[in-house]
Amino acid sequence: MKVARSIAELVGLRAEVPAGNRVGFVATMGALHAGHASLIEQARAQSDTVVVSIFVNPLQFGPGEDYARYPRPLEADLDRCAELGVDLVFVPSVGDLYPPGRQVSVSAGTMGTVLEGSARPGHFDGVLTVVLKLFNLVRPQVAVFGRKDAQQLACVSRMAVDLNLDVRVVGAPTVREPDGLALSSRNVFLSPADRGLALSLVGALEGAAAQPTLAGALDAAWAVLDEASLEPGFELDYLAAVNPETFAEVASDHPGDVLLVVAAKVGAVRLIDNVILRHPEPVVPLTVPRLPSPR
- Was 107 annotated as part of a binding site? no
- Was 22 annotated as part of a binding site? no
- Was 33 annotated as part of a binding site? yes
- Was 175 annotated as part of a binding site? yes
Residues 6+ away with beta carbon under 8 Å from 134: 25, 27, 53, 55, 90
The whole-angstrom separation of Cα 208 and Cα 96 is 45
Task: Report how far Cα 203 is from the mean position of its chain's Cα atoms.
Answer: 20
- Was 27 annotated as part of a binding site? no
The whole-angstrom separation of Cα 233 and Cα 39 is 32
- Was 176 annotated as part of a binding site? no
- Was 4 annotated as part of a binding site? no
Q: Which of 36, 123, 254, 279 is catalytic?
A: 36
36 is catalytic: yes
- Was 157 annotated as part of a binding site? no
Residues 6+ away with beta carbon under 8 Å from 54: 28, 29, 30, 74, 77, 78, 89, 90, 91
- Was 32 annotated as part of a binding site? yes
- Was 148 annotated as part of a binding site? yes
Of the candidates 164, 97, 96, 152, the residue with the CA atom closest to the CA atom of residue 125: 152
- Was 111 annotated as part of a binding site? no
Binding positions for ATP are 29-36, 146-149, 175, 183-186
Binding positions are 29-36, 60, 146-149, 152, 175, 183-186
Residues that are catalytic: 36
Binding positions for (R)-pantoate are 60, 152
Binding positions for beta-alanine are 60
